[in-house]
Structure 1
Amino acid sequence: MLFSPPEKIKKLIDAQYNILDNAHTHLQEIWVDNVLFTFGWWTSLLLSIIPWILWFIFRNKESSTRLLLGGLWAMFISTWLDYVGVTMGLWRYYNKLVPLMPDYIPWDFGLMPVTVMFFLQIKANVNPLIKAFVFAGMTAFLGEPLFLKLGYTKYPGWNPIFSFPIFIVIYLIAHFLVNSKATKPLR
């Protein structure tokens, strides 16, 4: 094939994928035997569901679609960044809800997007930079250290202070998406 790498490279890559497949199999076995249905697992399940229930009850119903756009952005980028961080060995999770994903579902699919959506809707006229700093401060300096203290995560190559500017950017982009005049109704 014209664009196919040489066989030597394919064999090297296949060998690494085999190592990854074996590691994932062992992690799944550990998860089934030691994590599934533990207190940490149940807590992770509740942290995945309760934020959405609260959002559904307390959301600004007239702005639900726009808020979901901001929440979807936060969910997408936090999941992607989590994947990168776990893959690079910067952090790891011990009470995963599902063993097949490298990210922490309660954080990326529950806490992060719902918190962003609440911040967007509460005091909507406050300067977004101020809200971004408050959101980033709470998330990086309260949320992350709490999960570290509870033993849900470990940071062998990361410090929550590195997260602070990332959370500011996540919030500001969500704010821009939710408040953009660029979206017009479909005709």
Structure 2
Amino acid sequence: MQYPTYDDVLQARERLRDVSASHWYHEDLGSWQWWFLLLVSIVPWIVWRRYRDRNRSYEILSYGFLWASLATSFDVIGGELLLWGYPDKLLPMVPPMFPADLTVIPVLYMWMYKWASTARKYFIGTLALAFLFSFIIEPVFIFFHMFFLQHWKHIYSFFGFIILSYVVLWIHRKAGGQVSGSFHE
């Protein structure tokens, strides 16, 4: 049995790049989905900037950027493992989940983090956002053919968001990200 060489992998990647770029140009660019992705990539940051807590901007932004990093990493892994996929892209050369992972998820979690002055509020906010993303946003995106599940279920996303929320909080605290003190009960 002959195993694929790196040249075989490179040829497959080149073919995928070409097919993906053609799909983006002919199917995504200018479609309502593309405009929607563009808006959700920009508007949440504008709203966040306008209504942010200026005294805690660095703390909250560092929390959000940690969320963005981990959400992007897990989304890329899930996509590569064909657990889920995104048919539409904002740009042909970046991962298709860019608007969600670098905008919607971190901005909403930053609002929750800003609001969550106690451990109880953080837990409630975490459950609410996990529910929102897993059982409302994901099904809506599936309905509009902007997201599909292949070997994944919404309940996995729900628990994944909860676990990731506490991983992000733990890393953020270990890195000294919470400058305004710990939760108060």
TM-score normalised over the length of structure 2: 0.86
Q: Does 1:24 align with 2:24?
A: no
**What is the identity percentage for the equivalent residue pairs of Structure 1 and Structure 2?**
25
Give the distance between the partners of 1:184 and 1:120, measured in 2 at CA.
Answer: 10
Q: Does 1:57 align with 2:56?
A: no
> Which residue is 2:37 aligned to?
44
Q: How does 1:1-187 map to 2 (within 5 A)?
A: 12-125=5-118, 127=120, 128-177=122-171, 182=176
> How far apart are residue 80 of structure 1 and its match?
0.7
> How far apart are residue 177 of structure 1 and its match?
4.9
* Greater CA drift, 17-26 or 113-122: 17-26
* C-alpha RMSD of the superposition: 2.2
Asked which structure has the greater CA Rg, the reply is 1
Q: Is the 8 A contact 1:82 1:103 kept in 2?
A: no
> How far apart are residue 51 of structure 1 and its match?
0.6
Counterpart code for 1:40: Q
> How far apart are residue 89 of structure 1 and its match?
1.1
Q: Is the 8 A contact 2:68 2:105 kept in 1?
A: yes
Give the distance between the partners of 1:181 and 1:129, measured in 2 at CA.
Answer: 21
In structure 2, relative to structure 1, the CA distance for the partners of 1:174 and 1:59 (3 Å cut) is: farther
Q: Is the 8 A contact 1:75 1:108 kept in 2?
A: yes
Give the distance between the partners of 2:176 and 2:20, measured in 1 at CA.
Answer: 45
> How far apart are residue 38 of structure 1 and its match?
1.0
Unpaired stretches in structure 1, ≥5 consecutive residues: 1-7
TM-score normalised over the length of structure 1: 0.85
Q: How many residues of Structure 1 are paired with residues of Structure 2 in the alignment?
A: 177
